[in-house]
Each structure stands twice: as structure tokens, then as C-alpha cells.
Amino acid sequence: METTAEEAVEASVTRRSQPLRTLAIDIGGTGIKAVTLSTTGKPLTKRARVKTPRPATPAAVMNTVAELAKAQGSFDRVSVGFPGVVRRGITLNAPNLNGKWGGFHLADALTKKLGVPVRVANDADVQGFGVIAGHGVELVITLGTGFGSGLFVDGKLVPNLEIGHHPLQKGKTYEDLLGDAALKRVGKKKWNKRLVRAIQTLDPTFNYDRLYVGGGNAERITVKLPPNVKIVSNVAGLLGGLALWRD
């Protein structure tokens, strides 16, 4: 039987009897973040962040990821949170990066570049894996450059949910009204009001048990949120990376 690249890595790690190190990367529209995690999700390195290169083409972003990876030291596998729809390692789009991401095999390309197995998932889904309780209906939204979303039922991901591109008000989408550009344009007060309206719409639509609000701009929230809504740290965007290897 053939040995997969993944099995080869696991075997060599077992031989070295050293714990497996997972490099977690979060590709965002504004910054790319990296941290190395232990098998229990403990950060083993300091979280690093660099600006997303512009234009954010696959080649430019991959070079930045490779630089970040080099600075992190040794790792056995890589998890990537990507700001667009991802299907089996292939990116379908990236509204806040560049038009060249349609049909790009990021997992394969990065595996070749970094020399270890790479798994890629949507950034909000990865964030969700880092924060959910695993019971009931849990919705995760992320407020950053874009508006991310991830839906989980008893810990299982419902794939490809893109609330960000759904209209919320007067033909404007959640992302139009709550993305970083909107926050900068209308200011914190109005943006917070919009967030309240968005949550009032999401609650009776998804009937979730819990809603988690993450992403870099979650720290800009000043309004009191309902008891079933929890603000979560943006660092979770990286910690959820371990979940991509649970199978």
C-alpha cells in the first residue's frame, strides 16, 4: 500500500518521539497571522502578523505565508484559514484578496512550497472550530475586512455558508454594512447599531443556541448583546486550525 505524504510525516514524528507541531495560518484581507500549536492547541510560538501583500494574488500571498512559516521554526503540518469559499483544498473566490483565486489549489501549492501536508478551510469556519461548544446549533460570525460566517450543528460544520453576501438592508449585504470599509466610513456608533440589527435578523432566521462574534473588529463592539451571543477573541481564528486534522 502506498504511503501518503501525511502518513510519512506522522511516522517520522513518531520515530522522533516528538509531539506533532501544527503551523496555523490565518489569511485575512488586511493581515496574515501565524502561530505554531501543540496537539492540545497550546501556542508554542509567539503569534506573528504581517500585512497582506497587495495585490493579494496567489503567488504574493503564498510568498508571505512561506516567510511567516520560516520565522516560526519547525512544524509537521499546516492549517490555513482562507477568506473565501474553499472546497477540498481549492479556493473558489476571495472577495477581499484578488480575482485570481477562483479554482486555485492552495492546499497542493502550499504543500509543495512548504514540504509538509497542508489543509485549508474558510477562515470563519476555522474560527468557529476554535470556539464552539459542540452542542446544538452554533453560528459564528467574524467582523474583519469582510463578514465571515460558519454554522455548526452538534459540532459538525454546515459548509459554505456565506451570510456576508446576503442582503441585510436596502439591497446592501452584511459585508457592505458591517465590513471594515463600512466601519471606517460610518464610524463606530452607526456600525454598532447595524450590528444590533444584523443580530436581530440572524436570531429568528437561524434560531441558534449560541452566536459567537469574532474577527479583528469584534473589539469595536460597544453595545450590550443578548445573552446567547458571545464575543470571542480573534486569536481563536488560529486555534481552530487543529480541528482540520481531526478525522
Which one of residues 89, 117, 128, 146 is an interface residue with ligand BGC (CB under 6 A)?
146
Binding map of ligand BGC across residues 219-238, x = CB under 6 A, - = no contact: --------------------
- Contact call for residue 180 and ligand BGC (CB under 6 A): no
Q: How far apart are CA 215 and CA 199, in angstroms?
A: 16
By beta-carbon proximity to ligand BGC, the closer residue of 22 and 122 is 122
Pairing state between β 147-153 and 48-51: unpaired
By beta-carbon proximity to ligand BGC, the closer residue of 116 and 198 is 198
Which one of residues 36, 122, 217, 234 is an interface residue with ligand BGC (CB under 6 A)?
122
Q: How far is the CB of 2 from ligand BGC (least distance, A)?
A: 34
Q: How far is the CB of 178 from ligand BGC (least distance, A)?
A: 11
Structural contact between residues 62 and 41, judged by C-beta atoms closer than 8 angstroms: no
Distances (CA, A) of 93 to 97, 113, 239: 9, 21, 23
Over the range 128-160, which residues count as b (16 or more CB within 10 Å of their CB) and which as e? bbbbbeeeeebbbbbbbbbbbbbbbeeeebeee
Binding map of ligand BGC across residues 84-103, x = CB under 6 A, - = no contact: xx---------xx-------
**DSSP three-state, residue 243:** helix
Which one of residues 83, 214, 216, 241 is an interface residue with ligand BGC (CB under 6 A)?
83
Over the range 62-75, which residues count as b (16 or more CB within 10 Å of their CB) and which as e? bebbeebbeebeeb
Residues that bind ligand BGC (CB under 6 A): 83-85, 95-96, 122-124, 142, 144, 146-148, 162, 164, 175
